[in-house]
Structure 1
Amino acid sequence: MIDLLILILLVAGIVLVTARWKVSPFLALLGAALLGTFLYRLPIAESVTTVTQAFGNTLGNIGLVIIFGTMIGVILERSGAAIAMADAIIKVIGNRFPNLTMTLIGYVVSVPVFCDSGYVILNSLRKAITARAGISALATSTALMTGLFATHTLVPPTPGPLAAAGELGVAEDLGLIIGLGLVVSLVSALAALLFATRLSSKEFAALPAERDDDLEVQDYEELRASYGKLPSAFMAFLPIVLPLLLICLGSVAKLPNAPFGEGVVTDALVFLGTPVIALILGLIAAVFLISGDGRMARFNEDITEAIRVAAPILLITGAGAAFGAVLNASPLTDFLAENIAGMGLGLLVPFLISAALKTAQGSSTVAIVTTAAMIAPMLGSLGLESTEGTVLAVLAVGAGAMVVSHANDSFFWVVSQLSRIPVGTAYRTLTVATAIQGVVAFLVVLGLAAIML
């Protein structure tokens, strides 16, 4: 019981120092790991080694994947490819279903692009569609936000679920995570869409625009023109679709029944479907999106920005792994095995832990990484030690990381301020929508568990 109390105190400490005092999650997790070695009375000679080896091994396994995924996202954002993807979806769906259009655009764009950046890029498009359709901005803002949020927490190569896969030892099964994640995130986004549609005629007193060139008042065509000539829809989607397709094919090729036979084809698909190789090929495809004079200089700028964005994620991921390794080496593992195994909590544990961390400190990525580190030693006790069980645990963690977005979440402020939604109204709409989609996502995961486990 004392070991469980220590865990609760460590987690509470992480939440307190990150949420209240704004300490870097990297330092909070690393500090909790080092403090845990003393509180759990690990041998002094092994304590530092446990932390450093877990940190290094995790970055070795998943670091390059996070970096290359982030590089693709930055290039898509800066080249105008995200706008090109949005235009392509509008051509298919048309303007008759504005909320559905915004949901699907967000759902696609947020696979490689951070949801915060995605909303900034697409906000003028949202405004244009809102004006054209004559509906409330509350509806389109909620639809776009939740569409972005769905894949952001559930579908690799977004860093959160990617890091969770590495933490829980299923990085080689990304094809399965991507396939199931796309289904779970789509259902959760559609559930939030139903809520958003109810807001289509809801009036609200919009906040005043802060400046004349604010994205909210900038004309969509002007934003579009600022990127110069946009890439074709094929080239815009290629850096996303290519690695996802290769990873999925690689996963299929490794199935025991050898669907592609045994030989050069299978070996090639397994190699090309390795996440690092697949994302390198996606990055090569993304390079062709950079056009005009000074392409090399712009490419170098994009790569530098991607490294800056990826660095804190890498550090948080490594520190989370170190914290998990300390928990795994502690007597807590035996306590949990003896007391949780018979309770039948299963996937509810990762979902609730992730939801609590998300609600308390705001960052979905931090909630995902921290939860994955915490539950890694518990997978056997929860009955999730199989590959399928661990993959579903990754998705349960992602579902929890949606519940809920409010004032301590930067995404909440990006959406509410760019859409000029007052805080009180945002709580009643945006926050409620993220709660709905998080719970629905978890229910879908439970449904998959009933079939797969």
Structure 2
Amino acid sequence: MDLVLVLVAVVALIVVATTVLKTHPFLALLLGAFLAAFGFRMPLGDIVATITGGFGGILGGIGIVIVLGTVIGVVLERSGAAVTMAEVVIRVLGQRFPTLTISVIGFIVSIPVFCDSGYVILNSLKESIARRTSTSMVAMSVALATGLFATHTLVPPTPGPIAAAGNLGLTDQLGLVILVGLLVAVVAAGVGLLWANRFTEAEPEGEGAEELTAAAEEFESFKERYGTLPGPVAALAPILVPILLICLGSVAALPAAPLGDGTPADLVRFFGEPVVALLVGLALALLLVRPGADGTRRESFRDAVTDGVTAAAPILLITGAGGAFGAVIQATEIGDYLGSNLSELGIGVLMPFLVAAALKSAQGSSTVALVTTSALVAPLLGDIGMDSDLGRVLVVMAIGAGAMTVSHANDSYFWVVTQFSRMSVAQAYRAQTAATLVMGLSAAAVTWVLSLVLV
């Protein structure tokens, strides 16, 4: 119980520091990591190594992707390609319901792509559609974030759900996991979309919000300054090609090895790595760069890279600090404590949901919550009456629902969404964190009903 009280106190401190005291999230998270380490009585010799390891670990997975995605976004913005993409998507899906459009795009993209990477890749498109339709950036940001988050936690081949399925003995039943996952994810994304639509009159309150709002209100003049816009194929290639490569890489990496084990499959897996795929996207974006004052593309591309790296720097720092805080939590015994106590409640498929939700809220990573909870509850499936194939699939869904409940200060995704959307921290808690809460609860409710009917 002491561990839980320490965790609650530290999280509350981070919330107060970032919202009331206006402390930069990087410093608040870093201080929270140290206070948590002291509060959990971590050996002094392990504290710095754990914090720096967590900082570097999270950036090793998402840092380069953030930078590359940001640079691509700058190029797409300056070349007018993002405007072209918005026009194409709106022409295909319509413009009456822009939040639905961006939610559907996120829902599809996050099946093979980490939600963090997906948000970075689609951020420019989101802003272009918002400008084109004069829609609230807050509502659009939440709609995109929740669409991505739904399939990220529920549908293989995203690493978290596929690892959970493996831990629960469903390696040969991934088709069933995907089918049920899509059903539950549609409900979760729909609830997230409804929550996003509550903010259709809101505007971002964070740094840079004034410029963002002005751009949204003056879309036509914003569009006209580009002159001739890139064609749809050239404009979409820097985003669609990386997504396609990542999708193919995910397929090639499936346990069944559908593409075989030879050199062609190895190449597909290599180019399907998000970093490599985005490098390909960056090369394609280079073709869109307009000539600079010297008559060549070199200067313009250099400026775009410089501005992209500058824009990515605070996001990297905040994301890394969130990883450091999460690493301290993961290094303690609080996960085992929460799991062992919640597993004794006897509430069927809701037990894995509560375990995963507790782990997610405590340490921030949805993937860690999925993997850890599935390993923890695997021996308990018989005790909760979920040891059939379908029962195990529903347990994966329950764990996935818990793994989205909730995204807050210790979650790197929370900070990616907050920073890229220019929301203040307080506004992000009301919009993004609350959205993940209602999504998780609705997904858990659907899973519980399915367990009553089908198991």
* TM-score with structure 2 setting the length: 0.66
Match of 2:278 in 1: 279
Match of 1:324 in 2: 326
Distance 2:232 2:442 in 1: 34
Alpha-carbon deviation of 1:227? 1.6
2:105 aligned with 1:103: no
C-alpha spacing 1:19/1:196, structure 2 compared with 1 (3 Å): closer
Match of 1:55 in 2: 55
Alpha-carbon deviation of 1:113? 5.3
- Whether the aligned pair in 1 keeps the contact of 2:67 and 2:308 (CA below 8 Å) is yes
Distance 2:62 2:29 in 1: 18
Match of 1:76 in 2: 76
Equivalent positions of 1:54-453 (< 5 A) are 54-93=54-93, 98-100=95-97, 103-104=100-101, 108=105, 111=118, 121-127=128-134, 144=140, 147-151=143-147, 214-215=214-215, 218=218, 220-293=219-292, 294-343=296-345, 344-348=350-354, 370=364, 379=373, 383=377, 400-401=406-407, 439-440=438-439, 443-444=442-443
Q: Unmatched 5+ residue regions in structure 2?
A: 110-117, 153-157, 165-174, 202-209, 380-391, 409-413
Letter of the structure 2 residue corresponding to residue 313 of structure 1? I
- Whether the aligned pair in 1 keeps the contact of 2:126 and 2:140 (CA below 8 Å) is yes
**Percent identity, aligned pairs only?**
34
Distance 2:186 2:352 in 1: 23
C-alpha spacing 1:270/1:374, structure 2 compared with 1 (3 Å): closer
- Whether the aligned pair in 2 keeps the contact of 1:54 and 1:322 (CA below 8 Å) is yes
Alpha-carbon deviation of 1:13? 0.7
Q: Note the alpha carbon deviations across 1:392-433, whole angstroms, 9 max, x for none.
A: 86776557449xx9xxx7999989xxxxxxxxxx9xxxx799
Letter of the structure 1 residue corresponding to residue 311 of structure 2? V
Q: Note the alpha carbon deviations across 1:289-342, whole angstroms, 9 max, x for none.
A: 212335222222222222222222222222222222222222323322321233
C-alpha spacing 1:286/1:106, structure 2 compared with 1 (3 Å): farther
| Bigger Cα displacement from structure 2, 55-64 vs 272-281 | 55-64
Letter of the structure 2 residue corresponding to residue 126 of structure 1? T
Superposed CA RMSD in Å reads 5.1
Q: Note the alpha carbon deviations across 1:192-248, whole angstroms, 9 max, x for none.
A: 767999999x9xxxxxxx99x944653x44322212221111122211211111111
Distance 2:330 2:365 in 1: 13
Letter of the structure 1 residue corresponding to residue 132 of structure 2? L
- Whether the aligned pair in 2 keeps the contact of 1:74 and 1:302 (CA below 8 Å) is yes
Letter of the structure 2 residue corresponding to residue 241 of structure 1? L
Alpha-carbon deviation of 1:47? 1.9
Alpha-carbon deviation of 1:387? 13
- Whether the aligned pair in 2 keeps the contact of 1:287 and 1:299 (CA below 8 Å) is yes
Counterpart of 2:318 in 1: which secondary structure? helix
C-alpha spacing 1:284/1:395, structure 2 compared with 1 (3 Å): farther
